[in-house]
Structure 1
């Protein structure tokens, strides 16, 4: 068996080394046992998931602590009259939207270098927010924070597809996205503690320092420990790399000898594919409903009339803690049953019920309970990340699909951060009904996309496309004219 990292020495000099190597791997490969695959995936989980999880938790913490800083006294030092506070949320997402193309850096450059660089950049920007003395300075920080974070979070789902089988990547996307829920829970609890500090620095400045500085330090971790590809994964031996290549390649293609560098034609195919846009519409809808929650949940709780501002910061944590466990559960079920749409629709329906209860009830206890339901919309994000990967068979095409998903989806917060104006306090009826409507739209579009993919799979049944297609290096598959169709996970 030729080593998966080397072209065979006995290959004819006029032959294509890449093609020979890939073909020999396919012909001589000894199928692994289920336990062997499971053990390798466990190794991947241990070396990759904690890094991307902690970094995303820090990213969400640094972007969403604005609501906590407001209640921690930021308005005492920074003039946030009129729509100035809303603009602090909006400017972040403007920069975030126009920088979504930076996710391709995860394919174009070595991931460990790309990741470490952008993490250090956003950590620095998040930290110097503590030094802001006016609204314009804080606006500049929020803008550059949006640019930096766009280079990290949107690209991680693409990165994870380099290492995991398509039917198991949903759970890993769920773990990654669950970091956002944990960050919002942790952020509320941390803000509650920091609000009790009496020192020379205002609590809101201490909040930015305590939540920004660890990010700068943690940037060293991906630089030294994040693998660029299966080939560069030092914690796998040759056989384990061989097995990993084959389970990642089932019903999709991977670039064995071209770990870095976009295939422009395939990337454009992903952008032009109509199926890329329905997940984008759903992601937009999710973000209308969810993006506003970290900024306004503490305020909504304080407006219930029975809690102080400090208590409201603390009480904003439990709903996100529940969301953390719900995301992991629903993504595990999604992988287990090889379905994305039904679970995405379910999350939208649960969240819609929460927003409707909040809009129609006058009981503080009932309204607080409804927030536990509303935040579950965020589970749809993890499912959409996996769904997009399952729609596109090649790495570069997935890069195009994720660019569409992220760009359309991140337009949602532009609306979401402005649907809870102060003039609507204390009930915030407008924002609650708008959020409920978009949650229901997620349910409807999930159903439409599922039916579309089921229909496409039935067409492939008639065409004789096999249920499972084994190892395919993109270069060889294209040159040999192999069947480019792959079954969809709906």
Structure 2
């Protein structure tokens, strides 16, 4: 009697024994898709999913990082930001963001389209009412609730995308998603430049918050109608296309059959305890120390170069992020093509370190501005870490645990990053540049260590006869022991 035919204790919401047997029979009758057929299905998924998660993440990053643009747009004239009050506005957001990272599991526990629409509407409302504040305390309150709301969106999207894509192709999709942050910082600077030219009864910083907050509320409604909850709920796919998608998603990883919503808490706990969950978390921490401060301080750094006024500094903060957008897509494409995460993660981190070192050692305006283009490339490492975390954990619930570890450790980085450029260090911010460069190099070193660890594990599994590719039937059904066959890692 095979494993699937044995009686197993079922968790709430799992398939019955009859349904499990039906699943096995369907798997036997299933005609494996050709590579061309798989690519056609993935293209349909791309056109439906990626534009929405990209736009929403762009709005998310825009709403959290426009504080630097608002400062240059006259915020300090109406709100007292003396002393370290401005730094606290950035810090308190990330305190709330860190404390609520566990909400990323809502994407698995609830229907994703309901969860997404609710949290997007929440943060859009908070982002918009920032235009009404009249005191530092009021703005601090808004930043706390903005951090809570956004923690329920961005950290969970990488988990959501793994419900639809094969693990060897999820890197590029995570890259497209995370590139929304680079695009937000790019056109955020350009948008702020245009808004600062507006003259009227309403202060430019208020207009900035309104123009960048209200569209988010509109897109919450779009997300509710547009996002599918899973492959079986993707009505834009035919029955055959759904079967093909189920087939490639279950390749070398576990697919929850019959329990698309709801967490398997034993697997969540396994992800939380897995030592391999922590190295990507510390890498993410290093990335965020280096990158999280940039959206808040790049306009100020450029303004401090002495060659540009405040409006020009807002505009000039856009081009570096535009380059970062294309670099993220390029490196993630190469990572999927070569089936390697660590080397490309280390490459992006090294480029970022070079940029920070140049800024720490040079005084010329042109050289320092060029170095900003290099510094922001550290953000490409974040996209690769998202894919890497998904590739380490085979089951959906275990990935939820792994992403919680990644995000909770990683999002502590901005607590340091938002405080490494104090006003007393202007205009060169040497100490902050060296700190950022050090953490970029830490990311590169940790990426190398994790790659070596996974290569060792792969070779060990090869000696033990673990197959390089495990298909749907082997990975989709719960074993009597409650555990699953091992799978090779993407390093």
Name the structure 1 match of 2:9.
Answer: none
Is 2:158 the partner of 1:191? no
Alpha-carbon distance between aligned partners in 1 of 2:230 and 2:72, rounded to the nearest angstrom: 43
8 Å Cα contact 2:59/2:216 also seen in 1: yes
Is 2:291 the partner of 1:290? yes
Alpha-carbon distance between aligned partners in 2 of 1:482 and 1:351, rounded to the nearest angstrom: 41
SS in 2 for 1:251: coil
Name the structure 1 match of 2:7.
Answer: none
Name the structure 1 match of 2:112.
Answer: 111
Name the structure 2 match of 1:447.
Answer: 448
Name the structure 1 match of 2:145.
Answer: 144
8 Å Cα contact 2:271/2:398 also seen in 1: yes
Offset of residue 344 of structure 1: 0.1
Alpha-carbon distance between aligned partners in 1 of 2:147 and 2:51, rounded to the nearest angstrom: 23
Name the structure 2 match of 1:378.
Answer: 379
Alpha-carbon distance between aligned partners in 2 of 1:481 and 1:232, rounded to the nearest angstrom: 27
Alpha-carbon distance between aligned partners in 2 of 1:225 and 1:349, rounded to the nearest angstrom: 39
Alpha-carbon distance between aligned partners in 1 of 2:18 and 2:187, rounded to the nearest angstrom: 51
Alpha-carbon distance between aligned partners in 1 of 2:47 and 2:480, rounded to the nearest angstrom: 36
Q: Describe the superposition over 1:209-264 as per-residue Cα deviations: whole angstroms up to 9, x where unpaired.
A: 00000000111111001000000000011111111001001000110200000000
1:167-178 maps to which residues of 2 (within 5 A)?
A: 167-178=168-179
Alpha-carbon distance between aligned partners in 1 of 2:311 and 2:381, rounded to the nearest angstrom: 30
Offset of residue 26 of structure 1: 2.2
Name the structure 1 match of 2:156.
Answer: 155
Name the structure 1 match of 2:423.
Answer: 422
Alpha-carbon distance between aligned partners in 2 of 1:274 and 1:21, rounded to the nearest angstrom: 37
8 Å Cα contact 2:124/2:214 also seen in 1: yes
SS in 1 for 2:472: coil
Offset of residue 28 of structure 1: 1.4
Q: Describe the superposition over 1:254-313 as per-residue Cα deviations: whole angstroms up to 9, x where unpaired.
A: 102000000000000000000000000000000000000000000000000000011000
8 Å Cα contact 1:112/1:223 also seen in 2: yes
Name the structure 1 match of 2:59.
Answer: 58
Offset of residue 33 of structure 1: 1.1
SS in 1 for 2:236: coil
| TM score, norm. by length of structure 2 | 0.96
Alpha-carbon distance between aligned partners in 1 of 2:247 and 2:360, rounded to the nearest angstrom: 51
Offset of residue 23 of structure 1: 1.0
Alpha-carbon distance between aligned partners in 1 of 2:43 and 2:204, rounded to the nearest angstrom: 41
Q: Describe the superposition over 1:362-409 as per-residue Cα deviations: whole angstroms up to 9, x where unpaired.
A: 110000000000000000010000000000000000000000000000
Is 2:234 the partner of 1:233? yes
Alpha-carbon distance between aligned partners in 2 of 1:338 and 1:277, rounded to the nearest angstrom: 21
Change (3 A) 1:424 1:469: same
Name the structure 2 match of 1:3.
Answer: none
Offset of residue 483 of structure 1: 5.2
Change (3 A) 1:167 1:197: same
Name the structure 2 match of 1:407.
Answer: 408
Offset of residue 474 of structure 1: 6.2
5+ unaligned residues in a row in structure 2: which ranges? 1-14
Alpha-carbon distance between aligned partners in 1 of 2:284 and 2:480, rounded to the nearest angstrom: 35
Q: Describe the superposition over 1:107-145 as per-residue Cα deviations: whole angstroms up to 9, x where unpaired.
A: 000000000000000000000000010000000000000
Is 2:460 the partner of 1:459? yes
Is 2:341 the partner of 1:361? no
8 Å Cα contact 1:251/1:486 also seen in 2: yes
Offset of residue 480 of structure 1: 7.3
1:13-412 maps to which residues of 2 (within 5 A)?
A: 16-412=17-413
5+ unaligned residues in a row in structure 1: which ranges? 1-13
SS in 2 for 1:477: coil
Alpha-carbon distance between aligned partners in 2 of 1:351 and 1:188, rounded to the nearest angstrom: 20
8 Å Cα contact 1:254/1:473 also seen in 2: no
Alpha-carbon distance between aligned partners in 1 of 2:96 and 2:433, rounded to the nearest angstrom: 26
SS in 2 for 1:92: helix
Alpha-carbon distance between aligned partners in 2 of 1:468 and 1:483, rounded to the nearest angstrom: 14
Change (3 A) 1:430 1:302: same
Question: What is the root-mean-square deviation in Å for CA atoms of aligned residues?
Answer: 1.2
How many pairs does the alignment contain? 477
Change (3 A) 1:271 1:366: same
8 Å Cα contact 2:163/2:396 also seen in 1: yes
Alpha-carbon distance between aligned partners in 1 of 2:437 and 2:360, rounded to the nearest angstrom: 9
Q: Describe the superposition over 1:77-127 as per-residue Cα deviations: whole angstroms up to 9, x where unpaired.
A: 000000000000000000000000000100000000000000000000000
Q: Describe the superposition over 1:27-56 as per-residue Cα deviations: whole angstroms up to 9, x where unpaired.
A: 111011111101100000111111100000
Offset of residue 320 of structure 1: 0.1
| TM score, norm. by length of structure 1 | 0.96
8 Å Cα contact 2:303/2:309 also seen in 1: yes
Alpha-carbon distance between aligned partners in 2 of 1:474 and 1:97, rounded to the nearest angstrom: 33
Offset of residue 25 of structure 1: 2.5
Alpha-carbon distance between aligned partners in 2 of 1:474 and 1:323, rounded to the nearest angstrom: 37
Alpha-carbon distance between aligned partners in 1 of 2:25 and 2:393, rounded to the nearest angstrom: 26
